[in-house]
Chain A
Amino acid sequence: MIECRNLVKSYGRVRAINDLTFDVDAGPPIGLVGPNGAGKTTLFSLISGFLTADSGTVRVDGIDADSSRRNGIIGILPQDAPFLKGIRVRDQLDLFARLQGMSAREAIEVTRTVTTDFGVADLLDRKPEHLSHGQRKRVALAQSIIGQPKLVLLDEPTSGLDPVVADDVRRLIQSRAHAITFMISSHNLAELEDICETIIVINEGRLVVATSVAELRGRDQRLRVRLANPADDAMIARLGRIEGVVDVTCANNDLKQIIIRYDCMDPDRLQMEVLGLMQAAGLPVVELSQGGKLAEGILRLVRDEK
């Protein structure tokens, strides 16, 4: 779906995108992650054709980003970009639909459908400058899927939204994900963990990693054990002696929450040994999970990169 090859974009002396190369297939939502200034918005602007790359190429569905044939393939929710001032939402959405080849009647119907889906049908006769931040965001989200584009780029889709609306937005993305490939840039990693299956991490304009969420979680070599009763020091020592275990700590000094850091190729064997020890000591295990949270995996990657 997206092919980036040796993409470079500079603003003066600052390289926002630095020799970025990656491929993304059509399918489940993709998360784009990176610290502030990593180049996420610039990358979206290059993919959408708002900016021209200094060198390199970016193709969407096999079509160059600056080609006129790309029209209608991409939908975008840009970060903080306003609609045309003083023109009713309805007129603007109708125009977007007609630009994508629909007749006047089809455009009216599509506008009605998407705005109903996103709960903004009652805002159609308002002017954009009279909408609140959250209302503008929802209208902008609705416009991004007009005409059923193949790829939709969402830049911070839920920032500034209240939790209920944010949850609605996540559900809407998931409900459309079978037909549209979403690429979502967000600092809300828990949200990306929920929605996305693939994560692209960039930092200082370079690719850090492009991989699955599960793989990224798995890179964190830790076992988390939650017990019904506190473990004693002897148990901690026994866990530390298991082959491949690096260290054993307790989260928040709570002896019911044990974190086992390991360095071995067979975490399943390790899990079995840990469970065996707990069972022998009569300590009921409430939860055992392998790997960390997505946020921790990404933070470590970015820190390692620095």
Chain B
Amino acid sequence: MDPRRTLLLTLFDLRHSVFKVKGLLFLLPFLLYWLAILQLLHDGGAEFVVSQQGMLISTLLLTPDVTRALFIDNPAVLSMTLMLGLTTLPLFCMLAGCNQLAADAGRNSFRFLLTRCTRSELFVSRYLSACLLVAVAMGLLIVAVTLMSLHIDQKPLLTTLTYAAWILAVLVIYALPLIAFMSIFSSMMSGTVGAFLSGSSVFFVLMMISRWLDDDYPALFYVLPNSLKASLYDVYSPDIMLSLAAMLAYSVVYLSLGWLLFQRRSV
């Protein structure tokens, strides 16, 4: 695999995704959702989160230690973004990752490229491009939330900036296996809709099965990366680095599956 060609293909795809259906499919819902959330936080939601009532509700979902770490020790607005981000990322990553290869492969458009690059370069570049798109969108979101946090949470500047960088890293790393998961379906299907529907259906079914059968078959619980999501909230947990490493491992496994399918695919 040639790094120069992979980089060329990645940047080309990223540049031509942003304002096209491929990118807008992810960017528009992402933008609308987070605008609504930021509006809510701006209109008093952030103060509510750190109020006694808010903290009480939070303790219904999280342990008291995690609640304190998220909403007292660290900037609450950023913590809220982390929680909402981790919850909604699977959907956004499905939207961002469903069209890595499917539509172009279905139209045979790769034929002009494949005498000049390898399938591996094409596969990896499309994955990296989707990851970069999500990372850039997340980065812009975190910048906006950090500015809001500095205004609302009143924590020291360095604490806020460090925590913001940490949250961005966690969210981006969590996105990697989710986009890799979609590469499997994008390698198989011949259209964006088909790749999205098949990917999201399998994700949903696997999630249900892993919840129902985790007592009898504990290994099933770990089929999807969101089984480790809870450990990513707990910023003081020693397991958090292990969970982040696991996200990279999930990415490698899913990418290998997608790569195998794309290698065998007729283009």
Q: Give chain A's interface residues, CB within 8 Å of chain B.
A: 45, 48-52, 68, 70-72, 74-76, 78, 80-87, 91-92, 95-96, 98-100, 140, 143, 147, 149
Q: Which residues of B contact A51 (CB under 8 A)?
A: 266
Bound complex: CA A152 to CA B104 (Å): 23
Q: Does B2 contact A (CB under 8 A)?
A: yes
Please name all residues of chain A whose beta carbon is closer than 8 Å to the beta carbon of B120 when the two chains form the complex.
68
Q: Which of B5, B8, B108, B266 contacts A78 (CB 8 A)?
A: B108
Q: Please give the residue numbers on chain B whose beta carbons come within 8 Å of chain A beta carbons, in ascending order.
A: 1-2, 5, 8-9, 12, 16, 20-21, 103-104, 107-109, 111-118, 120, 264, 266-267
Question: Which 5 pairs of residues, A with B, have the shortest CB-CB distance?
Answer: A99-B116, A81-B111, A81-B108, A78-B111, A68-B118
Across-interface contacts of B20 in A (CB, < 8 A): 86
**Separation of A70 and B117 alpha carbons in the complex (Å):** 9
| A95–B122 CA distance with the chains assembled, in angstroms | 13
A83→B112 CA distance, assembly (Å): 7
Q: Is the CB of B8 within 8 A of A95?
A: yes
| A71 and B112 contact, CB distance less than 8 A | no
Residues of B within 8 A of A74 (CB): 115
B101 to chain A, nearest CB (A): 12
Cβ contact within 8 Å between B8 and A68? no
The reply to whether B107 and A82 contact each other, CB–CB distance below 8 Å, is yes
- The answer to whether A48 touches B117 (Cβ under 8 A) is no
Q: How far is the CA of A99 from the CA of B11 in the complex (A)?
A: 12
B112 touches A68 (CB 8 A): no
Choose one: B21, B114, B117; the contact of A50 (CB below 8 Å): B114
Closest Cβ of chain A: how far from B118's Cβ, in Å? 5
Is B104 within 8 A of A99, CB to CB? no
A-B contact list, 8 entries, CB within 8 Å: A48-B111, A49-B114, A68-B1, A76-B112, A81-B112, A86-B20, A95-B8, A99-B117
- Residues of chain B lying within 8 A (CB to CB) of residue A72: 115-116
Whether the Cβ atoms of B109 and A81 lie closer than 8 Å is yes
Give the shortest distance, in Å, between B14 (CB) and chain A (any CB): 12
- Cβ of A50 and Cβ of B266 under 8 Å apart? yes
Q: Which residue of B lies closest to A140 (CB)?
A: B112
Q: Provide the residues of chain B in CB contact with A96, threshold 8 Å.
A: 112-113, 116
Asked if A84 and B115 make an inter-chain contact with CB atoms under 8 angstroms apart, the answer reads no
Given contacts A81-B112, A85-B109, 20 further A-B contacts (CB under 8 A): A48-B115, A50-B114, A50-B267, A68-B1, A68-B120, A72-B116, A75-B115, A76-B115, A78-B111, A78-B112, A81-B109, A84-B104, A84-B112, A86-B16, A86-B21, A91-B12, A96-B112, A99-B8, A140-B112, A149-B115
How far apart are the CA atoms of A82 and B108 in the complex, in Å?
Answer: 7
CB closest chain-A residue, reference B121: A68
Min Cβ gap B248→A in Å is 26
Q: What is the distance, in angstroms, from A103's C-beta to the closest C-beta of chain B?
A: 11
| Complex Cα gap A49–B267 (Å) | 9
Q: Across the interface, which residues of A come within 8 angstroms of B5, CB to CB?
A: 71, 99
Report Cα–Cα, A65/B267, bound state, in Å. 15
Once the chains are docked, how many angstroms separate the CA of A80 from the CA of B21? 23
Q: Which of A50, A52, A78 has the most CB of B within 10 A?
A: A50
Q: How far is the CB of B40 from chain A (nearest CB, A)?
A: 35
B90 CB to nearest chain A CB (Å): 27
On whether the beta carbons of B8 and A50 are closer than 8 Å, the reply is no
Closest A residue to B2 by CB, please name it. A68
* Smallest CB separation, A14 vs chain B (Å): 14
* A76 near B111: Cβ-Cβ < 8 Å: yes
Q: How far is the CA of A86 from the CA of B18 in the complex (A)?
A: 12
- B107 and A85 contact, CB distance less than 8 A: yes
Residue of B nearest to A84 (CB): B109
Given the known interface contacts A81-B109, A85-B107, A85-B109, the answer about A95 and B115 at a Cβ–Cβ threshold of 8 Å is: no
Find A83's partner among B12, B109, B114, B116 (CB 8 Å cutoff). Answer: B109
Task: State the CA gap A82–B267 with chains docked (Å).
Answer: 12
Among B1, B2, B109, B116, chain A packs the most CB atoms within 10 A around the CB of B116
